[in-house]
Amino acid sequence: MKIGKLFAAACTLLILLSGCQKKEEEPWVPDSTAIQVSQDGRITETIIDRLTESYYSSTELQEMVNASVKDHTAAYGDGSVSVKEFAANGSDIRIVLEYAAAEDYAAFNNVRFYNGSMLGAQMEGYRFETSFQLVAKDGTVSEQKVPADGPVSHKEYQVLVTDRSHKVEVPGNIVYVSAPSQVEDRRIVTPLTAAEDTDQSAVSEQEAGLLYILYEYH
């Protein structure tokens, strides 16, 4: 009888654990403009917006997006960027673009963007002139801000650098994030604007608009 009860309890525990694991592995579907980075380097950009100008239709926007993608692939090669979804519901639009690499996202959008090794980021000229916050494995963020010297010394970390206009999902556990930022969980960050930060003393003017995420693969 005792063995039977123990077996039943063990089965229940395994079911609960497998359920939790399945839930954790479910893909995140952005509900606002966001960038998602895959471990193989692909970038998925989800744009969620509203057309407010009466003279600007969703059809015209779709034609503009398709034309921009065509021009980019002509210059950078097929597959460098592609339209995965274009949906319009009245004035609400949802566009999903996929980029072959970080360089394609940067070129297509004409912005500063990097994803790769710590050494590579430094060779690209990123100076990490900002303060950082430590992120625990459960996504809890330390309130204490630390200078970049400590985080940058970890050459084993991966680095993502982008601007502060969208949420970001990285393919691993976030270890450090530049302030000011709101960490949704261990892999998703919502950047805050400089106006929302109460302490900009440690951030240089040149890099105040950048978001740094240091992460390590699972």
Domain positions in the chain are 34-109, 114-217
pTM of the predicted model as reported, rounded to 2 decimal places: 0.82
Write out pLDDT tens, residues 56-71. Answer: 789 999 999 999 999 9
Would you say how long the chain is, in residues? 218
**Sheet arrangement for strand 158-163:** 114-117, 158-163, 210-217, 172-178, 132-135, 141-146
**Could you tell me which residue, 161 or 22, shows the higher pLDDT?**
161
Task: Pick the closest to residue 70 from 52, 39, 97 (CA basis).
Answer: 97
Which SS3 state, helix, strand or coil, does residue 136 take? coil
Q: What is the DSSP letter of 19?
A: H
Q: Tell me how crowded residue 180 is: count the other CB atoms within 10 A of its CB.
A: 22
Write out pLDDT tens, residues 131-183. Answer: 999 999 888 999 899 999 999 999 999 999 999 889 999 999 999 999 888 99
- As a whole number, mean pLDDT of residues 106-124 equals 96
Give the list of residues 6+ apart from residue 86 with CB closer than 8 angstroms, or none: 62, 65, 93, 94, 95, 96
Q: Is 131 left (phi over 0), alpha (psi -120 to 50) or beta?
A: beta
Which SS3 state, helix, strand or coil, does residue 36 take? strand
Rounded CA-CA distance 12/69 in Å is 51
Indicate the class that CATH gives domain 34-109.
Answer: alpha beta
pLDDT bucket at 88, cuts 50 / 70 / 90: very high
